[in-house]
Amino acid sequence: MTSPVAVAPLKSMGASNKNVLITGVSKGLGRALALELAKRGHTVIGCARSEEKIATLSSELSQTQQKTDPSPHLVLKADVRSDSSIAELARLVMEAKGVPDIIVNNAGAINANNKIWEVPVEEFDSVIDINIKGTANVLRHFLPLMVERKQGVIVNMSSGWGRSAAAEVAPYCASKWAIEGLSRSVAKELPAGMAIVALNPGVINTDMLASCFGSSASLYPTADAWAPKAATMILNLTAEDNGASLSVV
């Protein structure tokens, strides 16, 4: 069941203010992107599974606002693997914020380095359930709301390994190749005025990268360094980008 951690009063929004829904905001790219967008004055709607981490993020987001300006952000507990959880998330978001302008399907998981025949069934299923089914669950419950308005942008986080392959991360590669195909297919179903893209964030020093690169992950940019470039790119996506496979550079 989805439960609100922090529901703040609504504020009037200028034309440049966007409501951005980001899944998997408790750490890594999602957290860094949420904080960057909030600093720029956009409204962040975030979800993740850890109550403790999203409570911390909710507090951090509120600190990005001026003291005279109540925080407009909304951070909720939800599990993208659960269709019913995302259905409840959509209900709460609609009640508090209305239809998001941008959705970033960021929640993701990677398997521990292993040959495919040595990856435990539960681990394989978890990667597929979060990376593919989780994205589909969000699309199922939020896309109809966007389609009704005939506007909105959906960003499905892909990977360089969604366009190439590597040994010992076959479940992750398979899931991100699926995101590429899913995004291109859904692009053909959207009305004019909307866009869905697959976005490769690049090689970024996160917990997921460390799980497969080990200490070498520290050689790559941090999520905080990545977020400004990613935010600018995402905010500037238009209907002309529909169906594209893009990369943050």
Q: What single DSSP character describes residue 233?
A: H
Tokens 């987001």 — which residue? 61
Torsion sign across C-alpha atoms 235, 238, 242, 244: negative
Q: Which amino acid is at 136?
A: A
Distance in angstroms (rounded) separating the CA atoms of residues 164 and 217: 19
Distance in angstroms (rounded) separating the CA atoms of residues 133 and 80: 8
Distance in angstroms (rounded) separating the CA atoms of residues 183 and 190: 11
Q: Out of 142, 161, 172, 177, pick the active-site residue.
A: 172
To the query of whether residue 172 is one of the catalytic residues in this protein, the response is: yes
Query: Of 25, 18, 51, 50, which Cα lies nearest the Cα of 223?
Result: 25
Distance in angstroms (rounded) separating the CA atoms of residues 51 and 3: 9
Q: Which two tokens stand for residue 121?
A: 């069934």
For residue 43, what are the CA distances in angstroms to 11, 16, 73, 89, 108? 10, 11, 5, 16, 22
Q: Which two tokens stand for residue 53?
A: 């981490």
List for the chain the helix, strand, coil content (%; round to 5).
Answer: 50, 15, 35
Which residues are catalytically annotated? 172
